[in-house]
Amino acid sequence: MHSSPSTRPFDLLVPLLLLALLLLPATLQAKDAGLAHSSTGEQAVDPQTLLRLQELIDEIHNSKQQVDRLQQQLAEAADESSRERIGQALEKQRLQLQDQVEHFEQIATGAVDLSLFNDTDNKEFSWQSELEEIFRPLLYELKQVTERPRQIEKLRSKIASLNTRLSATGLAIEEILRLQAAIGPGESKTALNDLLQEWQQRQQQLQNDLQLTEFQLQEKLESGESKGSAILNGFRNFLSGRGLNLLLALIAFALTFALIRYSSHLLEQRVARGQNKEDRLSARVLHVVLQVLAVVLAIIAALATLYTMGDWLLLTVFCILLLGLVFALRNSLPRYVEEARLLLNLGPVREGERVVYNGLPWRVSRINIYSDLVNPLLSGGRLRLPLREMVQLVSRRWGRDEPWFPCKAGDWLLLPDNTVGQVGMQSPEHVQLLVVGGGTKLYPTTDFLGLAPRNLSHGFAVPVTFGLDYNLQADITRAIPATLQAALNDAIRQTEFGQFVENLFVEFKEAGASSLDLLMVAAFSGEAAPFYLKIGRFLQWTAVDTCNANGWNIPFSQVTVHMEQALPAPVKQVN
């Protein structure tokens, strides 16, 4: 089937959009490089840059003078403590001078990465340092989120510690005062006075620290926002920052996935058009490859979006989730291999074949991520099964005359318990049977199949056995069956089901224990199925009427009683 001219431009638009989406990053990169090149060669130097360079030159000159002065002071220092203090100040000044020189060099060289010229050949590689570098943005964000609660908790813990130490200090001072009052003047009392002053100073210092800490805690609590405002501001900041980045990444993922899936659908239609059964494997391989490609490119699009936005936190979290997903799926690889075989139609279940699921036969209509199973004779007879369920099944080829269910809605059935009814509804769960005489029976579908119902709608025969007396033995094989058959033919044409009769015959069946049995068989088309029970009764009463008209005796079951022979009575001897 060829597509109309009005739909062809739209079909070609999606692959062009996809190609543009894939080439966009390279185009933007080339454009940025071109702009950078043109700006380097043509645009004038920013005056602010020149001003900042001059400021750095002055700062470097002053730092060198400070280094020279400190070196001179270090050489003139007389004691060890002075030399240590001046040495620390000299080292700090040298580091500052180094930073200023590097800053000056970075501004003067422009966007060149100076780390490329560092000698890193001898640097030892460390997994720990590399992981710390990767996870630093995530840890920093977590630290920022919990900064205020941690500070408040730290202040409260410090206040509790200071109160405990103040209580201990008060007890110590009371004990010293008690000892002072107990001893007289002398060296001991002087030592206690000195110790008392030391503990009082310590108590005063603790009180000062406690007041300062309580003031800091109060400031933290009063300067903080209300919970509602904090949540609202946090939500607003999230939407304007990382929330927006996350939304753009999800849009990029969904858009890329949708475009590739739609394009792959069009491509699969073009590839599969006109193929025969032998060439369908190539279309299935293409389908699986495009499915995997859609997911991979969608993930790359989301990562590229986060990278472009410079959101290293979300990028790190995304990479962690991907690594976790890969490790989680590592043990499931054999199952995915089996599912891939199913998608390629090379597994134990194949399209168009017959499979038994939950005790019912199904035709495999389509194999995909969710496969379709169809039973055309069941109401709602379409199931969607995931691949993990399909892997456990085995299909086979089926014959054209092989039934999918023993009946269909509207058929008349005879069950083993002589229940006759019409099928009202049959689904994968239940079969509803409208019983003759009124009422409805509901059977679970699998239990219904176990009953092996007899379908009367395809035609049926009603056999009836009828016995006559042994005094009719001379005519029982010829004359009587012919007479009875003629009577049945005449009577059945007067009934409502007589038009559906296909065959009717009477034959001698057997010589029973107490009767000579005849077999009456009436065969009907399916239209007479509602009268199945009535037909059996009709054959019986017609046979009885014929017997009455011809004087034939109908025997009853006889019971033979065997009596023991009576013994003679003993002779009584008379004296």
CATH number of residue 365's parent domain = 2.30.30
User: What number of other Cβ atoms are within 10 A of residue 300's Cβ?
Assistant: 15
Query: Does residue 541 share a domain with residue 468?
Result: yes
* Structure-derived torsion over alpha carbons of residues 478, 483, 484, 490, reported in degrees to the nearest 10: 150
Is 79 contained in some domain? yes
Is 556 contained in some domain? no
pLDDT digit string, tens, across residues 396-414 = 998 888 999 999 999 999 9
pLDDT digit string, tens, across residues 174-227 = 888 888 777 767 667 778 787 888 888 888 888 888 888 888 788 777 765 555
Is 76 contained in some domain? yes
DSSP state of 559: -
Predicted confidence at residue 24, as pLDDT, reads 45
Query: Does residue 352 share a domain with residue 305?
Result: no
Query: Does residue 388 share a domain with residue 448?
Result: no
Query: Does residue 536 share a domain with residue 516?
Result: yes
Query: Does residue 543 share a domain with residue 470?
Result: yes
Is the predicted pLDDT of residue 536 greater than 90, yes or no? yes
Task: Enter the pTM of the model.
Answer: 0.50
Report how far apart, in Å, the C-alpha atoms of 90 and of each of 59, 69, 93, 104, 516 are.
16, 9, 5, 21, 135
Is 565 contained in some domain? no
Q: Which of 288, 306, 330 is the last residue of a domain?
A: 330
pLDDT digit string, tens, across residues 20-49 = 444 444 444 444 444 444 444 445 667 777
* Mean pLDDT computed over every residue of the chain: 79
User: Rounded to 5 degrees, what angle do the CA atoms 267, 269, 274 make?
Assistant: 125
Predicted confidence at residue 36, as pLDDT, reads 43
Percent of the chain with pLDDT over 70: 75
495 vs 241, residue with greater confidence: 495
Is 375 contained in some domain? yes
Which residues form the domain of 382? Answer: 343-396
316 vs 251, residue with greater confidence: 251
Query: Does residue 321 share a domain with residue 251?
Result: yes
Query: Does residue 465 share a domain with residue 451?
Result: no
Predicted confidence at residue 401, as pLDDT, reads 86
What confidence category does residue 567 fall into, taking pLDDT thresholds of 50, 70 and 90? very low
Question: Minimum mean pLDDT among 45-59, 213-227, 268-282: which range?
Answer: 268-282
What's the rounded Cα separation, in Å, for the pair 359 and 393? 12
pLDDT digit string, tens, across residues 82-114 = 888 888 888 988 898 888 888 777 777 765 656
User: Rounded to 5 degrees, what angle do the CA atoms 532, 533, 538 make?
Assistant: 95
The total domain count for the chain is: 6
Predicted confidence at residue 367, as pLDDT, reads 87
Q: Which of 191, 220, 249 is the last residue of a domain?
A: 220
Predicted confidence at residue 9, as pLDDT, reads 39
Predicted confidence at residue 519, as pLDDT, reads 95
Predicted confidence at residue 454, as pLDDT, reads 94
Q: How far apart are the first and last CA of the chain?
A: 129
Query: Does residue 306 share a domain with residue 279?
Result: yes
Is 137 contained in some domain? no
Q: In degrees rounded to 5, what are phi and psi of residue 560? A: -95, 125
Is the predicted pLDDT of residue 8 greater than 60, yes or no? no
Is the predicted pLDDT of residue 151 greater than 60, yes or no? yes
Is 476 contained in some domain? yes
Is 337 contained in some domain? no
Query: Does residue 466 share a domain with residue 446?
Result: no
Find which of 228-232, 239-243, 250-254 is predicted with most confidence, using mean pLDDT. 250-254
Q: Which of 109, 134, 156 is the last residue of a domain?
A: 109
pLDDT digit string, tens, across residues 59-75 = 888 889 888 888 888 88
Query: Does residue 263 share a domain with residue 204?
Result: no
Query: Does residue 466 share a domain with residue 450?
Result: no
For residue 414, list its beta bridge partners. 420, 454
What confidence category does residue 153 fall into, taking pLDDT thresholds of 50, 70 and 90? confident
What confidence category does residue 15 fall into, taking pLDDT thresholds of 50, 70 and 90? very low
Query: Does residue 465 share a domain with residue 435?
Result: no
426 vs 136, residue with greater confidence: 426
Sign of CA dihedral 513, 517, 523, 528: negative
Predicted confidence at residue 210, as pLDDT, reads 87
